[in-house]
Amino acid sequence: MNRRFRISIVGLFSLLGAVLVFSCLNLQGCSFFGNSDGIPVYSYNIVNTYPHDPDAFTQGLIFEDGALYEGTGLLGHSTLRRAELETGAILQIHELPDQFFGEGITIYGDKIIQLTWKSNVGFVYDKNSFDLLQQFNYSTEGWGITHNGTCLIMSDGTSTLHFLDPQTFEEISQLAVFADDDPVTRLNELEYVQGEIYANVWQIDRIARIAPETGRVIGWIDLRGLLTAEDRSEPVDVLNGIAYDAEADRLFVTGKLWPKLFEIELISPE
């Protein structure tokens, strides 16, 4: 992706995001930016910093078997890839057809599942070869996806999470996500971490920690300040991308077009 293209795309998405955030701040139902209900807000320490492809418009992130799996977006530039954590080097890549805007990914067993934004089409790949095994359809937009070992969990940019059968991709149930008794909209990239659903919220530097039994936000992770001014010397977009290493209990985060990926540890509020 050339630099001029990146600048124009980032400008377009930033303008779109600014309009949506301005609208949100002027409407009821957006009190989840605060924590008036006593929802704990976690800060962070940076444990390690790794290179990240600055041309990757990150939509989904997974860590498994010592490697990062990433789904990227933008029409004509969407990919599924496997990358080396320590160097950021791309080890394997599959390019989506130009008409698809790639979105979130998850690994379920020996398969990788990837969503697309507005095409109502998901892809299922062989985890090792990236060979396309099948396609499936859904009625909403596709944003983020994860699983709890039994069901796939999918976001569509609203406050609703959809639970899908991992074999048939039929919807089993829905979960309304809320904080301070208000819906939390724009749920994006998802990761299932120790019995909780972690969710990026588009256009804010926070991750919501969601109780899957109730949909209640039980914690916020405030990630402001991750990128320095030097990191922003080239255009970057929003925070997006959560990966969890269950074996070593490591949490990774990054963003769209970010030059770095961070391993962080959470700091509990006092």
- How do residues 163-173 score in pLDDT, each as one tens digit? 999 999 999 99
Distance CA 111, CA 252 (A): 21
Look at residue 18 in the predicted model and tell me its pLDDT. Answer: 43
Query: Residue 28 pLDDT more than 70?
Result: no
Query: Residue 51 pLDDT more than 80?
Result: yes
Residue 238 belongs to domain spanning: 3-267
Look at residue 10 in the predicted model and tell me its pLDDT. Answer: 53
For 209, the 3-state DSSP assignment is strand
Query: Residue 2 pLDDT more than 60?
Result: no
Neighbouring-strand partners of residue 264: 46, 251
* Contact (Cβ atoms closer than 8 angstroms) between residue 256 and residue 238: yes
- β-bridge pairing 217-222 and 41-51: parallel
Model confidence pLDDT, tens digit, residues 101-111: 999 999 999 99
Look at residue 124 in the predicted model and tell me its pLDDT. Answer: 98
Q: Which residues contact 97 (CB under 8 A, 6 or more apart)?
A: none
Tokens 């041309």 belong to 55
Higher local confidence (pLDDT), 33 or 97:
97
* Contact (Cβ atoms closer than 8 angstroms) between residue 251 and residue 242: yes
Higher local confidence (pLDDT), 125 or 18:
125
Query: Residue 73 pLDDT more than 90?
Result: yes
* Contact (Cβ atoms closer than 8 angstroms) between residue 109 and residue 119: no
Look at residue 61 in the predicted model and tell me its pLDDT. Answer: 98
Distance CA 105, CA 124 (A): 10
Model confidence pLDDT, tens digit, residues 184-202: 999 999 999 999 999 999 9
Number of domains comprising the chain? 1
How far from the centroid of its chain's Cα atoms is residue 3's Cα? 24
Distance CA 15, CA 145 (A): 26
| Residue 146 backbone phi and psi in degrees, to 5 | -150, -170
Residue 25's pLDDT band, with cuts at 50, 70 and 90, is very low
How far from the centroid of its chain's Cα atoms is residue 230's Cα? 24
Query: Residue 264 pLDDT more than 80?
Result: yes
* Contact (Cβ atoms closer than 8 angstroms) between residue 96 and residue 119: no
Distance CA 133, CA 176 (A): 31
DSSP string, 164-226: E-TTT--EEEEEE-EETTEE---EEEEEEETTEEEEEETTSSEEEEE-TTT-BEEEEEE-TT-
- Determine what percent of the chain is predicted with pLDDT higher than 90: 81
The rounded mean pLDDT for the chain is 89
For 68, the 3-state DSSP assignment is strand
Query: Residue 58 pLDDT more than 50?
Result: yes
pTM of the complete model = 0.88
Amino acid identity of residue 103, one-letter, is: E
Look at residue 9 in the predicted model and tell me its pLDDT. Answer: 55
For 13, the 3-state DSSP assignment is helix
The CATH number covering residue 127 comes to 2.40.128.630
